[in-house]
Chains A and B, each alone.
Chain A
Amino acid sequence: MEKSGSVDSLGSKRSSSRQPSVDSLSRDHSELKMICFQQAIRDSDKEELQLLPNETVQDMAQDVTYFCPFTGALRGTVTVTNYRLFFKSMDRDSTFMLDLPLGVVSRVERIGNASSRDVSYGLVCKDVRNLRFAHKQMEDTLRKSIFEVLMKFAFPVSNGLQIFAFEYGQVFPENGWKVYDALSEYKRQGIPNESWRITKVNDHYELCDTYPSTLAVPVNIPDEELKRVAAFRAKGRIPVLSWIHPESQATVTRCSQPMVGVNGKRSKEDEKYLQAIMDANAQSHKLFIFDARPSVNAAANKMKGGGYESEDAYQNAELVFLDIHNIHVMRESLRKLKEVVYPNIEDSHWLSNLESTHWLEHIKLILAGALRIADKVESGKTSVVVHCSDGWDRTAQLTSLSMLMLDGYYRTIRGFEVLLEKEWLSFGHRFQLRIGHGDKNHTDADRSPVFIQFIDCVWQLTRQFPAAFEFNEYFLVTILDHLYSCLFGTFLCNSEQQRLKEEIPKRTVSLWSYINSQLEDFTNPLYVNYSNHVLFPAVSLRHLELWVGYYIRWNPRMRPQEPIHQRYKELLAKRAELQKRVDELQREVANRSASSASERPGSPTRSITPVQTFV
């Protein structure tokens, strides 16, 4: 597909859906597409590999066997490009295709003994699946296996190559890099106001290199003092404003742990600073500090110079531990979950196996923490400070989820994009390290599914409040797929500073460019924009569910239920059609009665009023 052609065709969804969206990740398994109704059945001409702009074929191999865990072995052709692996088999009555962005691959390994006539390769993927291929031993021993080629392009960073996002040259009508502007988001919240100001102290990332350049801080703390506060907070991540309640002025602020250490160090400036945060909210004479960690972990951090606020030092502050475990526990939990759900679900002990992964229990703790924050701010009209150790993993989960509960704006598609840009990207969630884009070091202890967990929590909220979100499940799945795909620049790098240095907005395409150019695919038809709806989810395992549409989507037996959204859209179309017919008839009758008004004064049309048609 050439670049220019697709720009013109963006108006029509049919062709824009050929864009490298999630469905190309999963052409072999249709369940993912359930949400993407328009793409129901592909034309046969689409069964060929469609290269993206600047995507080039690197190698091709015939007679490769793919061991599908669901349907058995398939023989076909493998193509490896600088972006993807494409497998196509005509073995069966219908064509089978597998289309996998290489960014999804976490690990490639040759399996089996050298004496065998077949060479077998296993691919472990970041999106909860594994793939296995085999082909005949090369007769020409000098020729590399296609999977050796794949390894090179799957881990460009480790091989001195460029991540494909820097080459991908697609142009979209909307520029997703313009979605978020810190100043206008603060302005939307009413900042600056009499209590909060925007500071330029971090303009050159000198105060904190993992924070954004634009920060909102209490009005009466001068920049000089901010620097002294920064010295007391891990990595200089001082408490700054994330969200302010439009009525009560209660705030959600975020930071890293205080550097208390074993000796219980104190900082006058830090104490004064938190007092200022409390004072900025006239409604309450209390401040809640939510430490996301289990108290034992928080205490253990003192050994390394960190720790938590003592209530002696911070008067009027109450410290609460939220018991959320660290990135290592979460990584282990997801690994166990993968074992339970992929490739097949055992016939017995499904629920206890699921329980043993603790995945839902972690989800519960995160949501429970966010709910407590939202409740304190909304019902208690009290300001809260949220931190964990560094304030870029659990803290990001908590602030963004509580903001999602508190502020309906973040539940719109654009609002959600702003939320991610703000709380996750600009505040330095270390995507590069947590995901390991293009890096072959799959055992890196810095990798962790923190962001996946967050999206899972959002999905749980959409399940409990089906009409409260403008976006649908497909939107969330798409975000997670492109978290790994390395097609867009959105999730590259670890901080705003790095992104600026790498000129990410100039050199790559934003995921939001793609999404915002075909919004209809991502829209929840049931959405009602209730302006004053604060979500208080039921944070109980009785209501939390495994996100089957994401974690078990590769299993063809896990077909989702018949989509309610589709039915709703059909009914909307039907209503529009009926309304049109009624309007026509009404006009007709009106014309007729106007011409015969003198004869019949009691016009029948009066009893018929059109139905309200807004949704």
Chain B
Amino acid sequence: MFPAKVTKPTFKCYLPPAQTDVKNTVEKPLKKLEAKLLSGEIVVNEVNFVRKCISTENNQEGLWGKLICTNFKVSFIPQDTSPKQKSTLSHLLLGEHDIPLTCLEQVVTVNDTKGKKKVLGSNQKLKFNPTELILYCKDLRVIRFCFEEAGPESARKVCLAIAHYSHPADLQLLFGFEYQGRRYHESKEERVNGSTPRGLQTPIFDRSSDWDREIKRTNASEWRVCSINQSYAVSSSLPEHIVVPSSLTDQDLMQYASSFTDHRIPMWCWSHSNGSALVRMASLTDPLQQKKTEQKIFAAITKSHPQRNEPFRSDLDKSLPSILDIQSAFVKLRQICILDPFEESEERWLSTIENSRWLEYVRAFLKHSAEMVYHLEGGNSSVILQEEEDRDLNCVVSALMQLMLDPRYRSLIGFQSLVQKEWVMAGHRFLDRCNHLKKNDKEESPLFLLFLDCVWQIMNQYPAAFEFTETYLTVLSDSMWIPLFSTFLFSSSKQRAQHLMDFAKHKAIPQGEDQVVYFPPVWEWSQQFSTKDQTLFNNPMYVGKGAACVQNGEVKTFKRKQKAYSSTLRGTPTNLRNGVKGGEESLTRRSSLANELKSELTPVKDLSPSERFFKDWFSRPADLQGLLIPLLMPSHMAFWKLFFLRWVPEACISKGGPVTTYHKLSQLVDEIEILQSQLRQYKGTSPGNTPLTSSGGNPTDQRRMYFQASSPDDPSTPPECLTSSFPFTPTGNLSRRTVQGTPISKFLNGARIWLSTETLANDTV
């Protein structure tokens, strides 16, 4: 980005030479450019003859059009509507060039001729007329607009409006409250006729029946739903209904609650078929009561275990990076992925990635979760995750553990219910962590993104284990920045309930109406995407219920190769460990084989019980419908390219990338599904019956795969849309300013490295 302190001359050198080219002047717009507005959306300010930069370099290339600021988004309407690339994701509520105001990370105005720049906040003044506006977005886009042909005053006004409206003073000012109110009334009639959104299959866990079902599903017979927090009477951050050990009465719980941070009674998350439970818990605040309360809670959890095994407690604050660490890792990673000049960052790419520590943290969370899984599965004891507030790290670890333990959560609906249960209802402070109101930067932390990255890592290792795709994960993360859904707007269910109650009152929504109806969660994907685009969420490889591979009602598992090694051997007898004693260091590397072999002489350590558990697990074939443990060597941690590099044009592989595999697999699965539907049709045709032509007539309508069966007319080159950024497009979405003059020469000449005289001399050999 820009240097922290900008003095006039140094800033100058970051700027391109003033472009005085006249041939790029725009023709007068012939047609009127209108913003596409949602219901309740109003235009605040607009400016014409704006150029949107669409390439990285500082050239004159760009799209001309109108820049508009509304109470919901920054919109750019290009004059020439180039036909949108087919087969890239299109959003139903946002245009190709739109950015929701909540998605803005930083609004920067620049005056090239004066060599000035300013980061704009709310209600600020701007003493110069901007020649350029740079929008840094939370979804990692960087968008640049140039005003060389625009009216200076209107340009300034639009910039100020964007800055102002992206810093709402109050949560209720977020556009979702306006939009959903209107939408509720406008779509009333449709709803009467159509199905209720409770047909939305994702359990929200705002009612006791959702918890009850979860207890039954996991056979957690020694646990019960407790509703003492109804109307948030006990804790302001717990949901109204929680699950607790059956042996504890409501009165006990009332009494214990006061010992915990924010009166958070420890809550049940999940039970293993062996009876061990996963419980999350805040820290105890009352030092006097601490021991006693803790003992009682632990005793109750022990009592709920079929073998009365003692629970295992893990203090996450002590074992994992803090939310501040995670935020700083993300900031560094963002810097190198999208802001640093591409070629400059190539040379030290790997070590810079390492220095950001992001992957290290991803690994730490996965590793800790896997260890907790061991205690539950291998150690057969209940696990208690403890964290000061129980609202951050616990969300990540409990959700990851359940993802590893329970295949249900690897289905799309299951995953959404998991997020709902362990994040939304458990009171993860989305409002603060996302910093939607831009009030407190210190509270901001991309914990949920970290979780999604962890999920991606498991998915990357077990590509057939999840019903959904990495596109789904990416789109889900983007949805955090669209303020139209209730999921990511609030910090607790109490806050959600209060705001939505006020909202319902203001918008004349009848009492008793379900909040899912009037302020839907993000899980109602049809609000954002067409049915066709939603098929991008479906993983053609998925091995699970309802997937193409379930044969004769039986779920097939992948066989991992039998390992020839086993885990019984412990250590190396010391008498066999001879060979290297002191003295070798003086020998040169080349002549000393012992030195080269040194590392192998270190004895194999004794395995801890958990190491043995993992080793045994990895030596067996993985059952994708059973426990799933990711491999966790540093070399197993991959960089999530789709998420972090999708906007980077230089990093885009055209007509290639993992999507080509997805393309092929989808086509094949589509063919299989067509055949299956044909079979069903025939089976419905008992002799003498006419097959139902109508059901077979429109297979295209409900096809589950985005890419459909191949045909002989397929072109002789791969489809253009297949790039490593698919279904996103880097064009125009990353226009960082680079140091003047592209370092192309450097790219071409490669890195200047390790030229010793010896190698030079040797070159002629």
Report A's interface with B, CB cutoff 8 A.
27-31, 33-34, 40-41, 65, 67-74, 91-97, 107, 109, 111-113, 116, 118, 120, 122, 124, 130, 132, 134, 293-294, 296-297, 300-301, 303-304, 306, 320-329, 341-352, 354-355, 358, 360-361, 364-365, 368, 372, 389, 443, 445-446, 464-468, 526, 528, 530-533, 535-538, 540-543, 546, 548, 552, 556-559, 561-564, 566-568, 570-572, 574-575, 578-579, 581-582, 585-586, 589, 592, 600, 604, 607-608, 611-615
B664 contacts A592, C-beta separation under 8 Å: no
Given the known interface contacts A604-B693, A607-B697, the answer about A538 and B653 at a Cβ–Cβ threshold of 8 Å is: yes
Instruction: Please measure, in the bound complex, the distance between the C-alpha atom of A529 and the C-alpha atom of B663, giving whole angstroms.
Output: 14
Instruction: Please measure, in the bound complex, the distance between the C-alpha atom of A579 and the C-alpha atom of B709, giving whole angstroms.
Output: 14
B463 contacts A542, C-beta separation under 8 Å: no
A466 contacts B658, C-beta separation under 8 Å: yes
Instruction: Please measure, in the bound complex, the distance between the C-alpha atom of A303 and the C-alpha atom of B761, giving whole angstroms.
Output: 10
Q: Which residues of A contact B465 (CB under 8 A)?
A: 562
**Top 8 A-B pairs ranked by shortest CB distance?**
A350-B634, A323-B750, A578-B675, A351-B354, A72-B604, A352-B351, A355-B350, A541-B349
B650 contacts A112, C-beta separation under 8 Å: no
Given the known interface contacts A329-B759, A468-B656, A614-B712, the answer about A107 and B718 at a Cβ–Cβ threshold of 8 Å is: no
B350 contacts A541, C-beta separation under 8 Å: yes
Taking A351-B351, A607-B697 as known contacts, 7 extra A-B pairs with beta carbons closer than 8 A to each other, sorted by chain A number, are: A30-B563, A71-B604, A94-B562, A306-B764, A533-B718, A557-B618, A568-B664
A561 contacts B596, C-beta separation under 8 Å: no
CB distance from B461 to the nearest CB of A (A): 5
30 A-B residue pairs with CB within 8 Å: A41-B561, A41-B562, A70-B565, A72-B571, A73-B569, A96-B564, A111-B593, A116-B578, A124-B593, A130-B597, A323-B750, A354-B350, A365-B750, A368-B748, A464-B657, A464-B724, A465-B660, A528-B664, A528-B718, A533-B655, A538-B653, A538-B724, A542-B645, A558-B636, A564-B541, A564-B665, A571-B668, A607-B697, A608-B681, A608-B682
Partner among B464, B578, B674 whose Cβ is within 8 Å of the Cβ of A562: B464
Instruction: Please measure, in the bound complex, the distance between the C-alpha atom of A65 and the C-alpha atom of B575, giving whole angstroms.
Output: 12
Q: Which residues of B contact A586 (CB under 8 A)?
A: 682
Partner among A304, A346, A464 whose Cβ is within 8 Å of the Cβ of B653: A464
Q: Which residues of B contact A537 (CB under 8 A)?
A: 653, 656
B594 contacts A122, C-beta separation under 8 Å: yes
Instruction: Please measure, in the bound complex, the distance between the C-alpha atom of A72 and the C-alpha atom of B571, giving whole angstroms.
Output: 6
Given the known interface contacts A41-B561, A73-B572, the answer about A575 and B759 at a Cβ–Cβ threshold of 8 Å is: no
CB distance from B49 to the nearest CB of A (A): 34
Given the known interface contacts A111-B594, A389-B763, the answer about A582 and B678 at a Cβ–Cβ threshold of 8 Å is: yes
CB distance from B371 to the nearest CB of A (A): 15
A70 contacts B763, C-beta separation under 8 Å: no
Q: Is B691 an interface residue (CB 8 A)?
A: yes
CB distance from B715 to the nearest CB of A (A): 8
CB distance from B75 to the nearest CB of A (A): 31
Instruction: Please measure, in the bound complex, the distance between the C-alpha atom of A572 and the C-alpha atom of B672, giving whole angstroms.
Output: 9
Q: Which residues of B contact A552 (CB under 8 A)?
A: 635
Q: Which residues of B contact A301 (CB under 8 A)?
A: 763-764
A543 contacts B578, C-beta separation under 8 Å: no
Instruction: Please measure, in the bound complex, the distance between the C-alpha atom of A347 and the C-alpha atom of B367, giving whole angstroms.
Output: 12
A30 contacts B564, C-beta separation under 8 Å: yes
Instruction: Please measure, in the bound complex, the distance between the C-alpha atom of A589 and the C-alpha atom of B233, giving whole angstroms.
Output: 68
CB distance from B699 to the nearest CB of A (A): 10
B561 contacts A34, C-beta separation under 8 Å: yes
B590 contacts A443, C-beta separation under 8 Å: yes
B669 contacts A571, C-beta separation under 8 Å: yes
Q: Is B741 an interface residue (CB 8 A)?
A: no
Chain B contacts with A in 578-619, Cβ cutoff 8 A: 578-580, 590, 593-594, 596-597, 599-601, 603-604, 618
B718 contacts A559, C-beta separation under 8 Å: no
Given the known interface contacts A65-B576, A526-B664, A540-B650, the answer about A92 and B635 at a Cβ–Cβ threshold of 8 Å is: no
Give the nearest-CB partner of A350 in chain B.
B634
CB distance from A482 to the nearest CB of B (A): 22
Give the nearest-CB partner of A67 in chain B.
B600
Given the known interface contacts A70-B565, A559-B560, A571-B669, the answer about A585 and B682 at a Cβ–Cβ threshold of 8 Å is: yes
B565 contacts A92, C-beta separation under 8 Å: yes
Instruction: Please measure, in the bound complex, the distance between the C-alpha atom of A614 and the C-alpha atom of B690, giving whole angstroms.
Output: 30
Q: Which residues of A contact B525 (CB under 8 A)?
A: none
Instruction: Please measure, in the bound complex, the distance between the C-alpha atom of A118 and the C-alpha atom of B574, giving whole angstroms.
Output: 12
Q: Which residues of A contact B658 (CB under 8 A)?
A: 466
Instruction: Please measure, in the bound complex, the distance between the C-alpha atom of A68 and the C-alpha atom of B44, giving whole angstroms.
Output: 71
B578 contacts A118, C-beta separation under 8 Å: yes
Q: Which residues of A contact B753 (CB under 8 A)?
A: 358, 361
A40 contacts B653, C-beta separation under 8 Å: no
CB distance from A373 to the nearest CB of B (A): 12
B675 contacts A347, C-beta separation under 8 Å: no
Give the nearest-CB partner of B670 in chain A.
A611
CB distance from B333 to the nearest CB of A (A): 12
Q: Which residues of B contact A592 (CB under 8 A)?
A: 687
CB distance from A227 to the nearest CB of B (A): 24
Give the nearest-CB partner of B614 in chain A.
A557
CB distance from A93 to the nearest CB of B (A): 5
A329 contacts B754, C-beta separation under 8 Å: yes
Q: Which residues of A contact B549 (CB under 8 A)?
A: 567, 570-571, 574
Instruction: Please measure, in the bound complex, the distance between the C-alpha atom of A112 and the C-alpha atom of B584, giving whole angstroms.
Output: 11
Given the known interface contacts A574-B672, A575-B668, the answer about A604 and B354 at a Cβ–Cβ threshold of 8 Å is: no
CB distance from B601 to the nearest CB of A (A): 7
Give the nearest-CB partner of B543 in chain A.
A567
Q: Which residues of A contact B717 (CB under 8 A)?
A: 530-533
Instruction: Please measure, in the bound complex, the distance between the C-alpha atom of A561 and the C-alpha atom of B641, giving whole angstroms.
Output: 17
B350 contacts A351, C-beta separation under 8 Å: yes
A72 contacts B634, C-beta separation under 8 Å: no
A578 contacts B754, C-beta separation under 8 Å: no
Q: Which residues of B contact A40 (CB under 8 A)?
A: 559, 561-562
Given the known interface contacts A329-B754, A562-B462, the answer about A109 and B759 at a Cβ–Cβ threshold of 8 Å is: no
A352 contacts B687, C-beta separation under 8 Å: no
CB distance from B90 to the nearest CB of A (A): 25
CB distance from B244 to the nearest CB of A (A): 38
A91 contacts B350, C-beta separation under 8 Å: no
Give the nearest-CB partner of B559 in chain A.
A40
Q: Which residues of B contact A604 (CB under 8 A)?
A: 685, 690-691, 693
Instruction: Please measure, in the bound complex, the distance between the C-alpha atom of A21 and the C-alpha atom of B580, giving whole angstroms.
Output: 35
Instruction: Please measure, in the bound complex, the distance between the C-alpha atom of A36 and the C-alpha atom of B57, giving whole angstroms.
Output: 46
A111 contacts B597, C-beta separation under 8 Å: yes
CB distance from B62 to the nearest CB of A (A): 24
B576 contacts A352, C-beta separation under 8 Å: no
CB distance from A449 to the nearest CB of B (A): 15
A350 contacts B681, C-beta separation under 8 Å: no
Q: Is B566 an interface residue (CB 8 A)?
A: yes
B661 contacts A467, C-beta separation under 8 Å: yes
Q: Which residues of A contact B81 (CB under 8 A)?
A: none
Q: Which of A91, A304, A466 has the most CB of B within 10 A?
A: A466
Partner among A118, A365, A528, A542 whose Cβ is within 8 Å of the Cβ of B651: A542
B578 contacts A112, C-beta separation under 8 Å: yes
CB distance from A151 to the nearest CB of B (A): 13
B763 contacts A326, C-beta separation under 8 Å: yes
Instruction: Please measure, in the bound complex, the distance between the C-alpha atom of A97 and the C-alpha atom of B565, giving whole angstroms.
Output: 9
Partner among B349, B655, B682, B716 whose Cβ is within 8 Å of the Cβ of A582: B682
Instruction: Please measure, in the bound complex, the distance between the C-alpha atom of A133 and the C-alpha atom of B510, giving whole angstroms.
Output: 81
Q: Is B548 an interface residue (CB 8 A)?
A: yes
Q: Which residues of A contact B127 (CB under 8 A)?
A: none
Q: Which of A29, A68, A111, A535 has the most CB of B within 10 A?
A: A111
Chain B contacts with A in 340-361, Cβ cutoff 8 A: 342, 346-351, 353-355, 359-360
Q: Which residues of A contact B656 (CB under 8 A)?
A: 464-466, 468, 535, 537
A345 contacts B622, C-beta separation under 8 Å: no
A612 contacts B564, C-beta separation under 8 Å: no
- Residue-wise, chain B 168-186 has the 8 Å CB interface mask toward A (1 for contact) of 0000000000000000000
Given the known interface contacts A134-B576, A329-B759, the answer about A68 and B463 at a Cβ–Cβ threshold of 8 Å is: no
Instruction: Please measure, in the bound complex, the distance between the C-alpha atom of A465 and the C-alpha atom of B750, giving whole angstroms.
Output: 24
Q: Which of B578, B676, B709 has the most CB of A within 10 A?
A: B578
